[in-house]
Amino acid sequence: MSKKEEKILEETPVAQEPEVVIDVQNLSVGFTVRGKKINVIRNISFKVYKGETLAIVGESGSGKSVTTKTFTGMLEKNGMVTSGSIMFDGMNLAKFKTDDDWRPIRGKRIATIFQDPMTSLNPLLTIGFQISEVLRLHHGLSKQEAKEEAIKLLKKVRIPNAEARYDDYPFQYSGGMRQRVVIAIALACRPEILICDEPTTALDVTVQAQIIALIKELQEEYHWTTIFITHDLGVVANVANRIAVMYGGQIVEYGTVEDVFYNPAHPYTWALLASLPQLGSKDEPLSYIKGNPPSFSSEIIGDAFAPRNAYAMNIDFVKEPPMFQISPTHCAKTWLLDPRAPKVEKPKVIQELHERMKRAAEELKRQEGAFDD
């Protein structure tokens, strides 16, 4: 991309609404635990747009994985979609039941990369075999063709010495390399939608950055849509076009990356941003979210975040807030957006987020080649 193009891209707002590939409406998911029903995903609606990356961000237990498991029918046996619809290519995935229903979708049109690459790799089979097997199954290639294609894929995900390492076993690869192999396998299926469930959390930052860059680069080539799940809001500025912030089984804020980073509206999003060490400075303690996430074992009344929310109002403890539309691309579920609510000031670090980050980047810019302007 030329500098000029990049500039244009940066300045063009999301003009018309791009094509929707997945449309989730009023989705609820429940589990049966020791004979008791618990409601884990509580009436969520959102859209996934074609060719974009949607990041789903939230604390452990907020429902990120469960939400996306409903897209491929991977909920555990004790779980089920209790209401709502998931529209994909004219089909309602929420109505799918049997493995036969899911076969043409799961792994083929919608593929998932999990946090631990070893959940997707068989430790007893060579890397090469595992990739070529997928190619033979999905695309009916011959053994020789499959091997050639598999080596091409290994090179695509930058496995050095791909030919020689084709016959290695997973334990002979480092953590980062294994995750790349999982990406290669997902690639082999040519999915339309790639769900990355915390693919980088277990890796160190350099490898993490490389994998994120790789996913982005391949996305440009194959035009797939990515759903990127993480608990670290700090890593998604680079990957995401849009962000859905989840709390207590609900989406509490949804918008473009710019909306969420430069104009966050939900106090939970504020708290997540403010606790990032990148924003901390040496002479003040980092802010953090006090208390624990809600438990699903009893019914949640009002705003699930209220007990931990420094900006909570009386109404938050009794009545669940509706989703307020802030702009055509941006919405948040907090009573603070009600016209009757008192005006509050966002935490200072967030008000000056871009200034702080620009300054930090300026410092780093003295470092050759890290940023080109």
Partner 1 sequence: MINEEELKVEEKQQTPVEEIDLFEQGRKEHPEDDDTIVKMRDVRIAFKIGSIERVIINHLNLDIKRGEVLGLVGESGSGKTTIGRALIRINKVSGGEITFNNVKISGKIPKKTERLLKTKMQMIFQDPGDSLNDRANIDYIVSEGLRAFKLYKDEEDRLQKVQQMMQRVGLRPEYLNRYPHEFSGGQRQRIGIARCMIMNPEFVIADEPISALDVSIRAQVLNLIREFQQERKMTVLFIAHDLSVVRYISDRIAVIYAGHIVEIAEANRLFEAPLHPYTKSLLSAVPFPDPKVERKKKIITYNPHELHHYVLSDAPKLVEVEPGHFVRCNTPELEQYTKELERLGGKK
Residue ranges binding Mg ion (CB under 5 A): 65
Residue 124: exposed, middle, or buried by beta-carbon count in 10 A (0-12, 13-18, 19+)? exposed
- Cβ–Cβ under 8 Å, residues 265 and 282: no
Residue 13 to residues 9, 143, 265, Cα–Cα distance (Å)? 8, 48, 19
Candidates 16-24, 44-52, 58-66, 363-371; binding stretch for ligand ATP (CB under 6 A): 58-66
Interface pick for partner 1 out of 81, 127, 185, 235 (rule CB under 8 A)? 235
Distance, CA of 133 to CA of 226 (rounded, Å): 24
By the rule CB under 6 A, 78 interacts with ligand ATP = yes
Residue whose structure tokens are 């670090």: 349
Binding flag, residue 60, ligand ATP (CB under 6 A)? yes
SS3 readout for 252-285:
EEEEEHHHHHHCCCCHHHHHHHHCCHHHCCCCCC
Task: Give, as ranges, the residues between 249 and 268 that touch partner 1 (CB under 8 A).
Answer: 257-258, 261
Between 134 and 243, CB nearer to ligand ATP? 243
CB of 46 to partner 1, least distance (A): 20
Minimum CB separation of residue 31 from partner 1 in Å reads 20
Q: Which stretch binds ligand ATP (CB under 6 A): 63-71, 83-91, 270-278, 336-344?
A: 63-71
Q: Which is nearer to partner 1, 22 or 233 (CB)?
A: 233
Q: Does 162 bind ligand ATP (CB under 6 A)?
A: no
- Specify the residue, 203 or 251, whose C-beta has the smaller distance to partner 1: 203
Buried b (16+ CB within 10 A) or exposed e, 134-153: bbbeeeebeeeebbebbbeb
* Chain residue at closest Cβ approach to Mg ion: 65
Name which of 141, 137, 161 is nearest 151 in CA terms. Answer: 161
Question: Which residues are at the interface with ligand ATP (CB under 6 A)?
Answer: 31, 33, 40, 58, 60-66, 76, 78-79, 231, 296
